Structure 1
Amino acid sequence: MTGSLSLSKGRPLWQGRTLALLGIVLVAFSLRSAVASLSPVIDHVAEEFPVSPVAIGLIGAAPPVCFAIFGLITPLLERRFGIERVAVGAITFMALGLLLRGFAVDSTSLLLATAVVFAGVGSGNVLLPPLVKKYFPDRLGIMMTVYSTTMAVSTFLPPLVAVPVADTLGWRVSLGMWGVVAAMALVPWVVLLVRHATVGEPMKTELLVPDPTDGVNDLQDAVAAATGPITTAPANRRLFARLWRLPLAWALAIVFATSATMAYVSFAWMPTMLVDIGGVTPATAGFLLSLFAFVALPCSLLVPILVVRFHATRILVLIGVTGGLIGLLGLLFVPTLALPLWVSLFGVSAIMFPLSLVLLSIRARTPESAVALSGFAQSIGYAIAAVFPLLIGLLHETTGGWQVPLIVIGSVLVIAIPAGMIAGRRRTIEDEWELRYGRW
C-alpha cells in the first residue's frame, strides 16, 4: 500500500480517467451538500407549512441512520451488481431525493424525500474509496485529498448560498438546485458504465481499508484514512464479537459517536438556534453554520500528523472538548456577544472526527481486525448520533428554550474525555485482548 500512495509515481490524474476524476469530485460534492443545505432554509419552509421540532429532529437523524443501514447493504450490492452500477443507483437516489425536497408539500413528504437522499448518500460514502482504489491505484493519497477537500468545501458552501437563493428565488429552488448538481454526477458514471459494458464486466473491487501497519509508518496513508469518507465493510464475526469485551473498542466508539453527534446536531439545529438565541437573521445563521463547518478543514489536515508522528491523541481530545465546551458556554450565557467566536470554538470539537478515523486504523494490527473495529465503532457511533437530533428537538419543544439542549450537548462532550484517555493508550485491540484474555 505504501508504494501505491507515492505522489512521485504513476500517470497524471487525468490521463485516460478524466471521467472518473470528474465523477468522483461531483459525487463527493453532493455527499455533504445534501447534509448542509436544508437547515439554513427551514424557516422559509416553515412559512409555507408547519415543520415541528420533532420533524426537524427526524430529518437530522436521517443521515446517521441511513449511513449505518446502507453502509452494511452497499458492499453486498456491489458484489452482486458491480461498483459502477451501484454508484449510478446511489447517485440517482441522491439526485431524485434532492429534487423531491424542493417539491415537498408537508413535513412528511420533506422527511421522506430526505430519507431518499440519504439512502443514496449512505451508499456513496461506502463507494467512493473503492472507486478511488479502482481508477487511481497509483494516486490514492492525492485523490483522497482531492475528494476530501471537495467534501469540506461542499459542507460550508451550501449554508452560505442557501438563504440568499431562498430569499431571491424561493426555498424550493434553494433545495432543489443541489439535485441538479447530483444529477450532473450521473453523466460520467453512466458513460463509464456503458464503456465497461461494451468491453465486458467491470473488474472486481473491494472496499478500501487502510492497512494499519502501513498507517503507523506512512503519514500520507494516515492522512488519507482520516480525511476520506467513512466506510464500512462486513467484518469477521469472531473478531467483531470480541470487541464487545474490550474497553479500547468502546472508547473508540464513544469518541466516534461524540464527533458524529456534534456534527448532525449542528446541521439540524444550529441555524434555528442561532436565530433564536443570537438574534441574527437566517442568512447570518447560515454563514455561521458555514464557519462551524470550515473549522473542520484544517482539523482534518493537521490531526493525522499530530496523531501519527507525535501520538497526541489525549491532548487533541482535550483540545476538542475544551474548545467545544467554551463555545457552548458562550452560546449559553452570552450568545449575543462574539457569536462567531463561540461558533468557531464549538467547531473545534470537529477534531474528534479525523482523530477517530485515524485511531480506527492504527489501533488494529491487521486490515481484517481494522474492518471489525471500524464496523463496531461506526455502528455504535451512528446509532448514538441518530438519537440526538431528535432528542434536542424534543427538549427544545418541551422546555421552550435552548438552555437544556445546550447542557445536554455539553454533557456528551464531557463523556468523551475518559473515552479519549483510554483511546490514547498506545496499544492495539489485539494487545488489549492478549493482556486480558490471552492469545488473540
Structure 2
Amino acid sequence: MNPRSSRAGTRSSALAFPVIALVGVVLVSLNLRTAVTSLSPLLGVIDAEIGLGTGGMSLLGMVPTAMFALWGVLTPIVLRRTGLEMLTVLAMAAAAAGQILRALAGDPWVMGAGSLIALAGMGIGNVVAPPLVKKYFPRHVAAVSMAYITGLQLGTVVPALVAVPVEEAAGWRVSIGWWAVLAVVAAVPWVMEIVRGGSATAVPAAAGASPAGSPPAGAAPAQRPRPWRSPVGIALALFFGTNSLCTYAFFTWLPAVAVSIGMTRAEGGLALAVYSGIGLVAALVVPWVAGRFEDPYAVVVVSVLCYLAGFAGLLWAPGVAPWVWICLLGVGPSTFPLCLTLINLRTRTEAGSAALSGFSQGVGYTAACLGPIVFGLLLSGPGLGAGLAFLTVVLAVMVVVARTACRPRMLEDTLR
C-alpha cells in the first residue's frame, strides 16, 4: 500500500468510528425515559389486570426519580472499575431486561422489580451520556449535546403519545415491552466500539487526562475529581436540582392544575403534552446558545421569567388565555438542556465530566423526588397559590446558583 492510500484509509477509519459513536449516543438518549412515559398512560389498565392499587401506582411513580438519584451517585463509582462503553452496554441491557420483565408481570411485585431494573439502566445512562460526548466529540460538545438532548426529549414524548394506541391494538404488555428492542439496538454501537479494542478503558482518575481518556505521557496521577469540593460543582448540582424540582412538579400535577382553572381532563392531558413538547425546541436551541456564548446566563433569566409569567396568568387570569400560560410554563424547563450541556462545557476532562454528571444528577433527581410531593400537598391543601409560591422560592434559588454555574470557569480549576 502506498503512503497516499494508507493516509486515505486512516482518514476513512477516523471518520467511520465517530459516526458510530454519534449513532450510539443518540440511540442511548432515546432510551432514557421510555420506561417512564410508556407506563404512565396505562396504569389504570394495568391496575385492572394485576391489581397495583393506589399505593402501588404511587410507588411506581416515585421509582424513576429515586433510581435516577441513586444511580447518579453510584455510577461514577462503578465507572472507576469499568469502561464507559461497557457500562453503557450493561445499562441498555438492564433497560431491555427490565422492560421485558414488566411486560411479563403477573403481579405488582414483578412489575416493581422490572421497573427497578429498567430504571437502574436508564439512571446509569443519564450519567454516562455526557462523558461519552466529552470523550468522542471534545471539539463538538454543543452540537452533539443538541442531538443527544433532542433524542432524550423525543424518547420522553413519543412513548406517551403511542402508548394507548399500541395498547388498544396489541395489549398493554406489548405497549410497554416493545421498547426493549430499542434498548438492545442502542447497545450495538458500543459493542462495536468494545470489539474494536482499546476504547473500553475505565474513566481515568487523573485530572490532567487527555480528551480521549488516557493520561498524557509522563503525567503523575492526580486525585479523582470531587465536584462537591468546587463552587462550580456545587452550583451546577443545585442548578440541576432546582430545575428538576420544578419540572417534575409539573410533570406530575399539570393536568390537575389545568382542571383546577377550568380546563377539561382531556385538555389537561394535552397541556402536559404541550409542556413536554416545547422541550424539543429548547433541546435544539439551548445547547447551541451555550456553546456559542461563554456565559449563557441569559437562558436562565428568560426561562425563569417565562415560568413567573405563566404562574401569574394561572393565578390572576386563568380563563383569559390558558394555553398561553401553559406554553410559557413549557419554556421554563429550557434550563434542563442547559444543565446537561454545562456538564461538559465546565469540565476539562472525561473524568471530570463523569464525576460532575453523577454528582449533579444525583442531587438533581433527589430534589426531583421532593417536587411532586411538596407541590401536591400544597395544591390539595392551601391551594394553587401556595404551590406556585413554593416554586417561586425554588426559582429564586435557581437564579442565584445558576449565576455561578454559567460563569466560564472549569471544575478542575476550582477544586479545593
Shorter-chain TM-score above 0.5: yes
What is the letter of the counterpart of residue 59 of structure 1?
A: V
Match for residue 437 of structure 1?
Answer: none
User: How far apart are the structure 2 equivalents of 1:40 and 1:331?
Assistant: 25
Deviations 1:78-132 (A, max 9, x none): 24xx734x33322221112223334455655544332211111122234445656
Match for residue 5 of structure 1?
Answer: none
Match for residue 95 of structure 2?
Answer: 94
Deviations 1:120-149 (A, max 9, x none): 112223444565677778987765544433
Counterpart among 356, 360, 378 of residue 339 in structure 2: 356
- Name the count of aligned residue pairs: 392
Deviations 1:180-225 (A, max 9, x none): 33244455656x38x92xx8x554435599x99x99xxxxxxxxxx
The answer to whether structure 1 residue 414 and structure 2 residue 396 are counterparts is: yes
Deviations 1:322-377 (A, max 9, x none): 21222234445555664443332112122212333444455567776666655544
Match for residue 54 of structure 2?
Answer: 51
Q: Is the 2:68–2:362 Cα contact (8 Å) retained in structure 1?
A: no
User: How far apart are the structure 2 equivalents of 1:123 and 1:370?
Assistant: 14
Q: Is the 1:264–1:389 Cα contact (8 Å) retained in structure 2?
A: yes
Q: 1:184 to 1:310 in 2, by over 3 A?
A: closer
User: How far apart are the structure 2 equivalents of 1:334 and 1:45?
Assistant: 38
Match for residue 66 of structure 2?
Answer: 62
Q: Is the 1:155–1:290 Cα contact (8 Å) retained in structure 2?
A: no
Deviations 1:127-173 (A, max 9, x none): 44565677778987765544433223222222222233345544443
Match for residue 307 of structure 2?
Answer: 324
Match for residue 257 of structure 1?
Answer: 241
Match for residue 216 of structure 2?
Answer: none
User: How far apart are the structure 2 equivalents of 1:132 and 1:366?
Assistant: 11
User: How far apart are the structure 2 equivalents of 1:26 and 1:367?
Assistant: 20
Q: 1:390 to 1:347 in 2, by over 3 A?
A: same
The answer to whether structure 1 residue 242 and structure 2 residue 244 are counterparts is: no
5 Å matches for 1:4-403? Answer: 11=12, 15=16, 23-46=24-47, 49=51, 50-52=53-55, 54-55=58-59, 57-79=61-83, 83-84=85-86, 86-104=87-105, 109-128=110-129, 144-186=145-187, 192=192, 196=195, 203-205=199-201, 207=203, 236=223, 240=227, 242-243=229-230, 246=231, 249-271=233-255, 274=258, 279-281=263-265, 285-311=268-294, 313-332=296-315, 338-363=321-346, 374-393=357-376, 399=381
Q: Is the 2:142–2:287 Cα contact (8 Å) retained in structure 1?
A: no
Q: 1:335 to 1:64 in 2, by over 3 A?
A: farther
CA apart distance, 1:177: 2.8
Deviations 1:55-77 (A, max 9, x none): 25523533532441443244135
Deviations 1:226-269 (A, max 9, x none): xxxxxxxxx946754633xx4x5543322211222233334444
Q: 1:147 to 1:316 in 2, by over 3 A?
A: closer
Q: 1:160 to 1:122 in 2, by over 3 A?
A: same
User: How far apart are the structure 1 equivalents of 2:347 and 2:28?
Assistant: 30
User: How far apart are the structure 2 equivalents of 1:71 and 1:105?
Assistant: 31
Say which SS state the counterpart of residue 242 (structure 2) adopts: helix
CA apart distance, 1:297: 2.9
Say which SS state the counterpart of residue 54 (structure 2) adopts: coil
Say which SS state the counterpart of residue 264 (structure 2) adopts: coil
Q: Is the 2:238–2:398 Cα contact (8 Å) retained in structure 1?
A: yes
Which deviates more from structure 2 when the two are superposed, residues 305-314 or residues 285-294?
A: 305-314
Match for residue 217 of structure 2?
Answer: none
User: How far apart are the structure 2 equivalents of 1:68 and 1:87?
Assistant: 14
Q: Is the 1:288–1:343 Cα contact (8 Å) retained in structure 2?
A: yes
Amino-acid identity (%): 34
What is the letter of the counterpart of residue 238 of structure 2?
A: I
Q: Which runs of 5+ in 2 are unaligned?
A: 1-9, 212-221
User: How far apart are the structure 2 equivalents of 1:95 and 1:148?
Assistant: 21
CA RMSD of aligned residues (A): 4.4
What is the letter of the counterpart of residue 114 of structure 1?
A: S
Say which SS state the counterpart of residue 51 (structure 1) adopts: helix
Q: 1:73 to 1:285 in 2, by over 3 A?
A: farther
User: How far apart are the structure 2 equivalents of 1:236 and 1:181?
Assistant: 38
User: How far apart are the structure 1 equivalents of 2:177 and 2:300?
Assistant: 38
TM-score, with normalisation over the residues of structure 1? 0.70
What is the letter of the counterpart of residue 327 of structure 1?
A: G
Q: 1:130 to 1:46 in 2, by over 3 A?
A: same
Say which SS state the counterpart of residue 31 (structure 1) adopts: coil
Deviations 1:2-51 (A, max 9, x none): xxxxxxx9549984788766554433211132333233334444555423
Q: 1:60 to 1:132 in 2, by over 3 A?
A: closer
Q: 1:332 to 1:184 in 2, by over 3 A?
A: farther
Q: 1:107 to 1:175 in 2, by over 3 A?
A: same
